[in-house]
Amino acid sequence: MEKKRTKIVATLGPVSGRPELIEALIREGVDVFRLNFSHADHGVADRLVQAVREARERLNTPVAVMADIKGPALRLYGYAEPIPLSQGCSLTIESRDAAGIESLVSDSPSRVFTNLPDIDRLCSPGQRIVLMDGYFSSQVVEVGRDFVTIRIENEGALRPKAHLTIPGADYPIPFLSDKDIADILWSVGKDIEYIALSFVRCATDIEEVRRLVQRAAVSSGKKPNFKLIAKIESARGLSNVDEIIREADGIMVARGDMGVEMPIETVPIAQKNIIRKGYLAAKPVITATQMLESMIENPMPTRAEASDVANACFDSTSAVMLSGETAIGKYPVQVVRTMRSIIDAVEKEFDYDDFHLLVPPEVKTGDVPAILSYSAVSVAYLCGAKAIIVLTETGQAARLISRLRPRMPILAFLTDKKLYNQMAMNWGVRPMLHSGKGARLDEVVDEALGICKSSGILKPGDKTVIIAGLPLAQQGSTNMIRIETLRSDS
């Protein structure tokens, strides 16, 4: 099966956590497995991580794990059963201390509690408030000490622990809760490849987590080589997206909360802009939320969902993500197969030549690695290369090639096993392991070509462009391009 370029992230959950199903999902094309810490505990996560690691070893396939940290979520409490709400009814929301709020019981179905402090200071009459991920829309009709009363604009049943959103508000709560810190420390202890951070507001949020991760890694004797994914899902995060992209190692376009925090018609525009900014910065971008949502219950997606996935791929997203579709859905394997088929169809039609011609000037210039990456892709097209081989210590040279979205596969040769699995996230990159024993460039190139031949990626007579740095094994030294033709005796 030809390798796809756009990667697939799948969320593990009750229906997909069995070892045999994880293996089946990898075979269908999953590159990254997501652990959702809004629901998973450490015991369950331990088992899932072990299952993924055993499956990727059996299949000899690079697969990353991403721990998705809950973040500063605002919820409603005080009731254990759904509350029926009718259009025009009133609901009072009262601020309470987050400690112990889950055990509180309201004395009235028209009164609930929230872990958002000082809700009265954030609202005024006429303020729009959204509940349950956008299902309920409402307006504030009364503001009192530590409470607001809202008028519900549509009927339905309010689920326990429903999300609360005040569009455009800057919530006065810490970026990390005690649970978030515990989940991050667990991720470091388990040497997880990616840590995704919810509701990132600015670069300072990323810096805070990076310091926490580095301290935890050093104290446990691990390398601090964890990649941080910033989830853009609020108006403030969107306004600071440039500084967030600079500080983070990757971006997730989290359209669910974004569509609640801002006018829904602006979400597709924000998505396109974030994807472009992300890949031009050589950072992987994940497009997420409700991509094939109907397949939670149905064996086929809607036409609109198929178009949604296809358009994200045409926009050059690095990865597309499945959430409930694989975590709790009836058809986890089929939904991955469907997503894979949409990706394959798009990649057959994608205009790689046009993309290369329209690369902005700032990507073609800059430092030596940036100049060399653009030149390497140009040379690959001119000589008809079947692949671009990147000899890299950190993966950055391969990421710079990846942002140019070349037609030919990017074969990233690495010696670090964790980086090998991390690179599974990057568009068009096929991570490959080599021994690292070669003392001279020719020895390393011969080993890489031999691996390509034995694995069937290249055949005798195929040309390949090789990009590397001299001296070997020195980080940040990418400074060389050469063309090789695979010999029959390689």
Say how far apart CA 61 and CA 8 lie, in whole Å.
14
Cα–Cα nearest to 317, from 347, 354, 360:
347
Same domain, 198 and 344: yes
User: pLDDT at residue 225 above 70?
Assistant: yes
Say how far apart CA 19 and CA 158 lie, in whole Å.
35
Mean pLDDT of 125-147: 94
Among the three residues 348, 373, 396, which one is the final residue of a domain in this structure? 348
Among the three residues 134, 165, 196, which one is the final residue of a domain in this structure? 165
Which is more confidently placed, 367 or 331?
331
Condensed to tens digits (0 to 9), the pLDDT of residues 391-443 reads 999 999 999 999 999 999 999 999 999 999 999 999 999 999 999 887 789 99
SS3 annotation, the chain = CCCCCCEEEEECCCCCCCHHHHHHHHHHCEEEEEEECCCCCHHHHHHHHHHHHHHHHHHCCCCEEEEEECCCCCEEECCCCCEEECCCCEEEEEECCCCCHHHCCCCCCCEEEECCCCHHHHCCCCCEEEECCCCEEEEEEEEECCEEEEEECCCEEECCCCEEECCCCCCCCCCCCHHHHHHHHHHHHCCCCEEEECCCCCHHHHHHHHHHHHHHHHHCCCCCCCEEEEEECCHHHHHCHHHHHHHCCEEEEEHHHHHHHCCHHHHHHHHHHHHHHHHHCCCCEEEECCCCHHHHCCCCCCHHHHHHHHHHHHCCCCEEEECHHHHCCCCHHHHHHHHHHHHHHHHHHCCHHHHHHCCCHHHHCCCHHHHHHHHHHHHHHHHCCCEEEEECCCCHHHHHHHCCCCCCCEEEEECCHHHHHHHHHCCCEEEEECCCCCCCHHHHHHHHHHHHHHCCCCCCCCEEEEEEECCCCCCCCEEEEEEEECCCCC
Say how far apart CA 183 and CA 42 lie, in whole Å.
8
CA 292 → CA 118, 342, 353, distances in Å? 38, 11, 30
Mean pLDDT of 198-213: 96
Task: Say which range, 82-96, 155-169, 290-304, has the weakest mean pLDDT.
Answer: 155-169
Say how far apart CA 368 and CA 374 lie, in whole Å.
10
2 inside domain: no
Same domain, 282 and 418: no
Q: Do 196 and 231 form a contact (C-beta atoms < 8 A)?
A: yes
Condensed to tens digits (0 to 9), the pLDDT of residues 314-364 reads 999 999 999 999 999 999 999 999 999 999 999 999 999 999 999 998 888
Same domain, 196 and 327: yes
Same domain, 126 and 275: no
Per the DSSP assignment, residues forming a β-bridge with 93 are 112, 148
Residues 6 or more apart in contact with residue 319 via CB below 8 angstroms: 6, 7, 8, 9, 31, 32, 284, 285, 286, 287, 425, 427
User: pLDDT at residue 1 above 60?
Assistant: no
* CATH code of the domain in which 422 resides: 3.40.1380.20
116 inside domain: yes
**Which residue type sits at 207?**
E
Same domain, 43 and 192: yes
* CATH code of the domain in which 16 resides: 3.20.20.60
Catalytic residues: 34, 75, 231, 289
Q: Do 429 and 398 form a contact (C-beta atoms < 8 A)?
A: yes
**Residue 258: per-residue pLDDT:** 86
Say how far apart CA 465 and CA 105 lie, in whole Å.
66
Sign of the alpha-carbon torsion through 339, 344, 345, 350: positive
**Residue 490: per-residue pLDDT:** 61
Same domain, 295 and 216: yes
Among the three residues 329, 348, 367, which one is the final residue of a domain in this structure? 348
**What's the CA dihedral at 305, 260, 250, 294 to 10 degrees?**
-20
Same domain, 242 and 294: yes
Cα–Cα nearest to 466, from 415, 370, 392, 406:
392
Q: Do 69 and 196 form a contact (C-beta atoms < 8 A)?
A: yes
Same domain, 270 and 360: no
1 inside domain: no
The neighbour count for residue 87, using CB atoms within 10 Å, is 10
Same domain, 457 and 328: no
Same domain, 252 and 332: yes
Same domain, 314 and 399: no
Cα–Cα nearest to 424, from 15, 51, 52:
52
338 inside domain: yes
**Residue 473: per-residue pLDDT:** 66
378 inside domain: yes
Over pLDDT 90: what percentage of the chain? 84
Cα–Cα nearest to 339, from 66, 4, 34:
4
125 inside domain: yes
Say how far apart CA 46 and CA 207 lie, in whole Å.
27
pTM: 0.93
Domain containing residue 452? 354-485
Condensed to tens digits (0 to 9), the pLDDT of residues 241-297 reads 999 999 999 999 999 888 888 888 999 999 999 999 999 999 999 999 999 999 999
Mean pLDDT of 167-173: 85
**Residue 99: per-residue pLDDT:** 85
141 inside domain: yes
Say how far apart CA 425 and CA 321 lie, in whole Å.
11
92 inside domain: yes
Max CA pair span of the chain: 81
* CATH code of the domain in which 99 resides: 2.40.33.10
Same domain, 183 and 292: yes
Which is more confidently placed, 32 or 169?
32
Q: What is the pLDDT of the chain when averaged over all its residues?
A: 94
**Residue 456: per-residue pLDDT:** 93
**Residue 343: per-residue pLDDT:** 98
Q: pLDDT-derived band of residue 476, with 50, 70 and 90 as boundaries?
A: low
User: Domain total for the chain?
Assistant: 3
Dihedrals φ, ψ of 399, to 5°?
A: -65, -35
Say how far apart CA 312 and CA 418 lie, in whole Å.
28
Mean pLDDT of 356-378: 90
Say how far apart CA 134 and CA 141 lie, in whole Å.
19
